[in-house]
């Protein structure tokens, strides 16, 4: 089984030193969230993840969730762990105190999401969708619905799901077949089938609150006719108690490559009672509140799995002997593999990506809080635009690089990485779903280039580039070399953005073929931006902790020398166009 030590020191570094967003620091509701409080939370989070949840990863992989006589049973130990998990209040961390939450900002809850992803992604998924459902209901439901359902979801006694996909439609939700027939009392009866529903059924909570998109019988076809409904597994009585079983049943559990402890279900809705959330025929807009949050969280899953893969690779490289290096330190036998240049390159590649991603995610968390809570509408809107721009980047880049990192971790472990004993191959399998669900990474790339670069508020990408340029202080002698190189790649991203926006007007195939390349270029440059912010702090505070900041500076140097150049490669590949691709004759 892999070992894991939550990177609390690095997380606290970000919270204390990179909380430099003026707009974020103006938020009154978080004035009392001190470093001491956050450190206490993260240290307790580390304990529960390392001691209680981490062992569940292997247990869930070897004893998957099963469907027996219509009842889904989670792996051994999950019930006991979940009981402790909600008793300690982890489901309520970022929720509104009005409904029993602790009211912590996403700058804190994102760190917990990462830890939980590292410890056991399967276990995490049973509560992750609940937070998404909470956010969707909180933003779009009536006060009556919120008062009735949110306290139990926040407490963790009830869970939530997101029911979109059907046998006839995945990404193209306009094709959905699930119908909703209005009743005389204002409720709806839903009939249809949903597939690939994460945590669609389980034995951990008293009730499951399904958020289901469906088409009312008098609504138009396509995405314009989609509404959102709250459909509980058990009907909730007027007094808030759990009532009779609703018309929702589990048809089967998918047999999967990874995340085997998580029940991915086929759900059948047979005249199930549902309650409309938000406006009729505007359900997709409401559901995007949940989907966009989940896309960022999926990116954090890739980051969390990358972290545990890196930690175990580093530990293994320090104890495994194999071969001799050019400057061998062994007089008899072999050197530790960490002395080999290629192994060191792999480890630094992991480390530079992971720490850069974590810093970028912290920046995005600040922007998210500003977009939701700042008193100035203009400031809120700009932050919202930046979050919208970066959501597909974080979802896709972090998960794709998670595959690269878990693959390299297997390579470092050699044959032992391929066997089940070390647990590395499970990390690879568990992470493989992250580039697929919540919209495949190619869908995210298309969304980025066709919808996110510009919108009704203007040219978002250029405003983002202007923000970055204003914060890169090339007058600082210590950072000047990094800033000069960074400016070179900013120019590439700027040219790539102009090319993409112009091509979208004349040749959409060129843009479609270039979409993944563009997303990665934007991603690598954005991570470099996060590293620039880290470097500024590292040079400024160097004498406070020379060992820590030396490591930061040298890790950043690796990223700029060895990883960031990928951005230019993607640019050169993309602008070659799509004519060869589209004219190629497949036999």
Tell me the pLDDT tens digit for each residue of 393-441: 999 999 999 999 999 999 999 999 999 988 999 999 999 999 999 889 9
Task: Decide: 227 and 219 in contact? Cβ < 8 Å.
Answer: yes
Is residue 112's pLDDT more than 80?
Answer: yes
Between strands 458-459 and 454-455, the pairing is: antiparallel
- For residue 28 the two structure tokens come to 């009154």
| Burial of 529: CB neighbours in 10 Å, binned 0-12, 13-18, 19+ | buried
At 169, is the pLDDT very low, low, confident or very high (cuts 50, 70, 90)? confident
3-state helix, strand, coil in the chain (%, to 5): 60, 15, 25
- Per-residue DSSP letter, 49: I
Is residue 84's pLDDT more than 70?
Answer: yes
419 contacts: CB under 8 Å, gap ≥ 6: 425
pLDDT in tens, 290-314: 888 889 999 999 999 999 999 999 9
Q: pTM of the entire structure?
A: 0.96
**Distance between CA atoms of 31 and 369, rounded to whole angstroms?**
13
Is residue 353's pLDDT more than 70?
Answer: yes
Closest to 575 in 3D by CA, of 521, 488, 510: 510
Is residue 171's pLDDT more than 80?
Answer: no
pLDDT confidence of residue 187: 96
pLDDT in tens, 223-281: 889 999 999 999 999 999 999 999 999 999 999 999 999 999 999 999 999 999 999 99
pLDDT in tens, 509-529: 999 999 999 999 999 999 999
- Mapping DSSP to helix (H, G, I), strand (E, B) and coil, where does residue 80 land? helix
Percent of the chain's residues with pLDDT above 70 = 99
β-pair partners for 458: 455
**Distance between CA atoms of 96 and 100, rounded to whole angstroms?**
7
Dihedral sign (CA 19, 25, 29, 35): positive
Is residue 331's pLDDT more than 70?
Answer: no
**Distance between CA atoms of 511 and 513, rounded to whole angstroms?**
5
- Per-residue DSSP letter, 342: H
* Segment 54-59 mean pLDDT: 97
pLDDT confidence of residue 291: 81
Closest to 518 in 3D by CA, of 570, 466, 468: 570
Q: Which residue did the predictor score with more confidence, 57 or 169?
A: 57
Task: Decide: 282 and 220 in contact? Cβ < 8 Å.
Answer: no
For the chain, the structural domain boundaries read 441-582
pLDDT confidence of residue 328: 74
**Distance between CA atoms of 218 and 195, rounded to whole angstroms?**
24
* Segment 163-173 mean pLDDT: 85
**Distance between CA atoms of 167 and 190, rounded to whole angstroms?**
16
* Segment 10-32 mean pLDDT: 94
pLDDT confidence of residue 584: 93
Element spanning 332, H or E: none
Find the largest Cα–Cα distance for the chain: 86
pLDDT confidence of residue 245: 97
Task: Decide: 96 and 461 in contact? Cβ < 8 Å.
Answer: no
Closest to 308 in 3D by CA, of 114, 109, 487: 114
Least confident of 76-90, 228-242, 323-337, 572-586: 323-337
Active site residues: 438
pLDDT in tens, 440-493: 999 999 999 999 998 877 899 999 999 999 888 767 788 989 999 999 999 999
């Amino acid at each position: 089984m892999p070992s894991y030590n939550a990177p609390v020191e690095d997380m606290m570094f970000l919270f204390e030193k990179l909380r430099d967003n003026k707009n974020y620091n103006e938020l009154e509701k978080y004035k009392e969230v001190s470093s001491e409080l956050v450190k206490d939370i993260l240290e307790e989070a580390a304990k529960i993840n390392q001691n209680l949840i981490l062992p569940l990863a292997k247990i869930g992989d070897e004893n998957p969730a099963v469907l027996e006589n219509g009842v889904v049973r989670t792996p051994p130990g999950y019930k006991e762990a979940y009981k402790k998990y909600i008793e300690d209040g982890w489901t309520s961390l970022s929720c509104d105190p009005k409904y029993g939450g602790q009211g912590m900002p996403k700058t804190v809850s994102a760190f917990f999401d990462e830890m939980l992803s590292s410890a056991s992604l399967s276990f995490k998924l049973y509560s992750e969708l609940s937070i998404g459902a909470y956010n969707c209901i909180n933003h779009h439901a009536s006060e009556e619905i919120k008062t009735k359902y949110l306290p139990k979801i926040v407490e963790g006694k009830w869970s939530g799901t997101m029911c979109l996909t059907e046998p006839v439609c995945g990404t193209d939700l306009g094709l959905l077949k699930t119908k909703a027939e209005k009743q005389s009392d204002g409720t709806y009866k839903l009939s249809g089938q949903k597939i690939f529903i994460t945590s669609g059924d389980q034995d951990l909570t008293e009730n499951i609150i399904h958020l289901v998109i469906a088409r009312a019988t008098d609504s138009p076809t396509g995405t314009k006719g989609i509404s959102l409904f709250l459909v509980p597994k058990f009907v909730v009585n007027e007094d808030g108690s759990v009532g009779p079983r609703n018309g929702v049943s589990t048809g089967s559990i998918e047999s999967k490559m990874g995340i085997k402890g998580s029940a991915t279900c086929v759900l059948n809705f047979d005249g199930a009672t549902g309650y409309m959330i938000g406006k009729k025929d505007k359900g997709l807009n409401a559901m995007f509140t949940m989907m966009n949050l989940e896309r960022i969280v999926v990116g954090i899953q890739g980051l969390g799995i990358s972290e545990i893969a890196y930690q175990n690779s580093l530990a293994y490289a320090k104890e495994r002997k194999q071969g001799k290096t050019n400057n061998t330190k062994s007089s008899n036998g072999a050197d530790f593999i960490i002395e080999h240049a290629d192994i060191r390159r792999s480890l630094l590649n992991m480390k530079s990506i992971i720490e850069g991603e974590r810093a970028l995610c912290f920046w995005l968390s600040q922007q998210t809080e500003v977009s939701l809570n700042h008193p100035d509408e203009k400031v809120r809107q700009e932050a919202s635009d930046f979050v919208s721009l970066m959501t597909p980047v974080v979802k896709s880049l972090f998960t794709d690089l998670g595959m690269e990192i878990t693959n390299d971790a297997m390579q470092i472990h050699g044959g032992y990485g391929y066997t089940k004993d070390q647990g590395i191959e499970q990390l690879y399998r568990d992470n493989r779903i992250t580039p697929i669900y919540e919209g495949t990474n190619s869908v995210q790339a298309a969304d980025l280039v066709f919808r996110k670069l510009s919108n009704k508020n203007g040219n978002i990408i250029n405003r983002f580039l202007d923000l970055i340029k204003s914060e890169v202080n090339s007058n600082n002698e210590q950072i000047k070399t990094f800033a000069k190189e960074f400016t070179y790649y900013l120019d590439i991203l700027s040219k790539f953005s102009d090319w993409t926006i112009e091509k979208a007007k004349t040749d959409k195939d060129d843009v479609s073929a270039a979409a993944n390349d563009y997303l990665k270029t934007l991603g690598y440059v954005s991570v470099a931006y996060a590293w620039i912010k880290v470097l500024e702090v590292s040079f400024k505070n160097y004498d406070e902790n020379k060992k820590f900041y030396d490591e930061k500076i040298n890790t950043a140097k690796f990223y700029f020398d060895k990883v960031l150049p990928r951005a230019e490669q993607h640019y050169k590949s993309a602008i070659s166009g799509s004519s060869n691709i589209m004219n190629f004759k497949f036999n």
